[in-house]
Amino acid sequence: KPVYRLSPSILSADFAKLGEQVKELGEAGVPWVHIDVMDGQFVPPVSFGDPVVKSLRKVTDLFFDVHLMVVEPARFIEDYKNAGADLMTVHAEACGHLDRTLQAIHDAGMKAGVALNPATPLNVLDYVMDKLDMVLIMSVNPGYGGQKFIPGMVQKIRDLRKKLDEAGYENVPIQVDGGINTDTIDSVLDAGASVIVAGSAVFGGDIQKNAAALQARISAK
């Protein structure tokens, strides 16, 4: 069975206090940090790039879960490796050669994940399953924090869990990203998601308290 964990998205952090806020995550016992990179092309906004990740690497030992919302992310594999990324998740929709990109991430010494937009079918994963360390199901259309959870994604998570299990990949975790809070978290956990991203629900208000509330729900599973 995959390990259950929280991965707070720093997209909703106060960027002027980013180092301190990431340290607070560590103090709250959070194991991962979700790092949203946006290029203004794959998604409308620009967020930040590898120099920010490199600076954060100096202040924390947390696992860096980097979600690349960029066109042709293969161009940046070395940059994020050098910045201290542990896992690189690329969008299937953004890669002309998904198989090659996953291979290149592994060759660089990182874990590899594939993200799917809400409308993207699961069958794009059929012939790359052996190269997946994680699958990210987007439960909002990527680009912005604080959007509303798309309820139909609960069934998509269930379908994916079944598909992975039937193919012998019981240990490959499903990550869910977008609109997760104390109202929506149980539905995705029950459907089979085990890596839970939350941005506004962690960084809006008391970070440690918010993280603890979500972690309590995760450890109850």
- Residues near ligand DX5 (CB under 6 A) are 9, 11-12, 34, 36, 67, 140, 142-147, 177-180, 197-201
61 is in an annotated binding site: no
Number of C-beta neighbours around residue 63 at 10 A? 16
80 is in an annotated binding site: no
36 binds Zn ion (CB under 5 A): yes
55 is in an annotated binding site: no
- 36 as an active site residue: the answer is yes
| CA angle (62, 107, 167) in 5-degree steps | 85
Cβ pair 89, 125 in contact under 8 A: no
SS3 assignment, position 176? strand
Cα-atom radius of gyration of the chain, to the nearest Å? 16
Least Cβ distance, residue 145 to Zn ion (angstroms): 9
- 190 as an active site residue: the answer is no
177 binds Zn ion (CB under 5 A): yes
Place of tokens 């509330």: 213
Nearest to Zn ion of 46, 167 (CB atom): 46
CA gap 157, 163 in Å, rounded = 10
Q: Which among 14, 36, 61, 159 is annotated as catalytic?
A: 36
Binding Zn ion (rule: CB under 5 A), the pick from 5, 67, 91, 161 is 67
Query: What would the two tokens of residue 2 be?
Result: 């995959």
Give DSSP secondary structure letters for 95-129: -SSHHHHHHHHHHTT-EEEEEE-TTS-GGGGTTTG
Q: Which one of Zn ion, ligand DX5, none is in contact with 199 (Cβ closer than 5 to 8 A by kind)?
A: ligand DX5
Size of the site for Zn ion (CB under 5 A): 3
Residue positions forming the annotated binding site: 9, 34, 36, 67, 143-146, 177-179, 199-200
Indicate which residues carry an active-site annotation: 36, 177
Residue positions forming the annotated binding site for substrate: 9, 67, 143-146, 177-179, 199-200
